[in-house]
Structure 1
Amino acid sequence: MISSITARQREELSTGAQALGVALSPQQEDLLLGYLALLIKWNKAYNLTAVRDPDEMVSRHLLDSLSIAPYIGAADRWLDVGSGGGMPGIPLAILYPHKVIATLDSNGKKTRFQTQVKLELKLGNLEVIHSRVEGHTPQQPYQGIISRAFSSLEDFTNWTRHLGDSNTHWLAMKGLHPADELVALPADFEIDSAHALAVPGCQGQRHLLILRRKA
């Protein structure tokens, strides 16, 4: 499967990760490129991502997912909400094999793809959940909850409030800084920090907002 990956894509991943300050082992590079190969293959039939050009997928999917690595910290139970084709959850599961990373999506085709990735790449720390976010009831709160272009900040926090607690970090990956969305943030949430992300090869702005629930 990884034979379908070009030398240019491998080089772009390697140099891009270095630019982000993310140290990848050769095995992790192979797993990320194996995931990319599966994404390219399945995208033809399953419409997993609007990005159709495989040459754009390294920067817009792999490196974009890895760009939040400095903000993951010590928390070891994470949920990627509205994960779609598995981003950023699957790249993070590859990067952090000792953390439990759950990906949640209500689209059965997308979770079937994610399950296939889990099986083929032997990602034992990846949990794939086919559910609407409102219907998901974990046994214990997640330590971190991530969304990538999933919804407005208001909807993201309202729909996932029951999945975390005052110790949970909510990470919202955005394009432009969403000043208008921050105005509508629910009263029990506050912004912990905001970061501009420089993703190698990505045009346009990328921002990460880290939210907390007030105790």
Structure 2
Amino acid sequence: MQESLALDVIGLRVSRETLGRLQLFAELFRKWSRTINLIAASTQNDMWTRHIADSAQIFALSPEPKRWVDLGSGGGFPGVITAILLAETGAGWVHLVESNHKKASFLRVALSETGARGSVHACRIEEAHQQIQHCDAISARALAMLDLLFDFAAPWAERNPDLRCFFHKGRDYQSEVDKAHGGWSFDLLQHQSAIEADSVILEIAHLARKL
């Protein structure tokens, strides 16, 4: 089965119920994609590996139930995938931040119909910290340069010194890391992507703006 094989690539085993939730999400995604541009059309045929399994890598790195903020959730990657995987644990929550109201509507339907553990905040990322007071972890995928992501994450980092951030990055990630060091102090773990040879997931801890 394509779906199970895609998850096997990242070493993630899920229950039949969770796999069913992911399959339902994929069906909803294809349906809504006919009228809303959720991802590049050229990548839809490889959605299970390119998007679902790729997104699930974040949960595989940090599977303990926690309060997540997913920035720029778009078509639900990785936020909805994390929320679906959390449903099996019965704990944790994902706050999905998406300013585009059509995409936010899709995200709400996806969460509701799959029984995922999440909610949608249809607001600008810069305003989200006013609605979401606390979180344990932040995720973002294909959203912005690293130093801008740090700007977005800063309000939560100031409230929680144990905050962790998980950011998908492509082959040029090192130049972004070097630039970010100019204005920020942080601890960094680089996790090689099991999906894209040139990609990584950057795990950030102890984020603080340099004075």
Length-normalised TM-score, structure 2: 0.88
Q: Look up the match of 2:52.
A: 62
Query: Cα distance, 1:163 vs. partner?
Result: 2.5
Q: 1:139 to 1:148 in 2, by over 3 A?
A: closer
State the distance in 1 between where 2:152 and 2:132 align: 17
Residue 88, structure 1, aligned to residue 78, structure 2? yes
Residue 168, structure 1, aligned to residue 160, structure 2? no
Q: Secondary structure, in 3 states, of the residue corresponding to 1:211?
A: strand
- One of 191, 197, 209 as aligned partner of 1:195: 191
State the distance in 1 between where 2:76 and 2:7 align: 19
Which shows bigger deviation, 41-50 or 181-190? 181-190
Q: Secondary structure, in 3 states, of the residue corresponding to 2:188?
A: strand
Deviations 1:62-84 (A, max 9, x none): 11111222321435100110110
Query: Cα distance, 1:191 vs. partner?
Result: 3.3
Conserved 8 A contact 2:65-2:93: no
Query: Cα distance, 1:214 vs. partner?
Result: 4.7
Conserved 8 A contact 1:133-1:160: no
Query: Cα distance, 1:16 vs. partner?
Result: 2.0
State the distance in 2 between where 1:44 and 1:74 align: 35
State the distance in 2 between where 1:53 and 1:181 align: 25
Residue 127, structure 1, aligned to residue 119, structure 2? yes
Q: Secondary structure, in 3 states, of the residue corresponding to 2:35?
A: helix
- 1:1-215 alignment, distance < 5 Å: 11-52=1-42, 54-74=44-64, 76-97=66-87, 98-123=91-116, 125-136=117-128, 137-164=130-157, 165-185=160-180, 187-199=183-195, 204-214=197-207
State the distance in 2 between where 1:155 and 1:214 align: 13
State the distance in 2 between where 1:119 and 1:141 align: 23
State the distance in 1 between where 2:66 and 2:10 align: 21
* Structure 2: segments with no counterpart, 5+ residues: none
Query: Cα distance, 1:118 vs. partner?
Result: 1.7
State the distance in 1 between where 2:36 and 2:30 align: 10
Identity of aligned residues (%): 25
State the distance in 1 between where 2:207 and 2:155 align: 14
Query: Cα distance, 1:33 vs. partner?
Result: 0.9
Q: 1:191 to 1:177 in 2, by over 3 A?
A: farther
State the distance in 2 between where 1:177 and 1:75 align: 31
